[in-house]
A = this chain, B = another copy of it.
């Protein structure tokens, strides 16, 4: 079962990815593949890679990227306390300018832990 927010986020993401990929641009298609593969388990486990993706998304101020990695981290078993230690690192590295993104992430995290 998943929350309304998550369903809408994932549907919109899929819908627009198809618009982009239907362009037939080969470079973009290959980039999307590389992007997905980068987070597959390797010598580093998938949950660590997702935490790195989450941290990078926060310090780069990308709410959509944050939402995506929140969901993936949650699926990889990251606990709420672990999420907040990640937020703290992103906050110290990126400064108060990332606080609005952490506020939004915190709200979405509540939804993910309550309703999936």
Contact = CB atoms under 8 A, between A and B. Distances in A.
Interface in A61-88: 61-62, 64-65, 79-82, 84-88
B82 A44 contact: yes
B43 A81 contact: yes
A111 B38 CA distance: 26
Given A39-B89, A86-B52, A97-B94, A31 B34 contact: yes
Tell which of A89, A102, A110 has the most Cβ of chain B within 10 Å.
A89
Nearest to A29: B88
A103 B43 contact: no
13 contacts: A13-B103, A23-B106, A27-B38, A28-B91, A31-B92, A39-B89, A43-B79, A48-B48, A48-B51, A49-B85, A57-B93, A65-B96, A94-B94
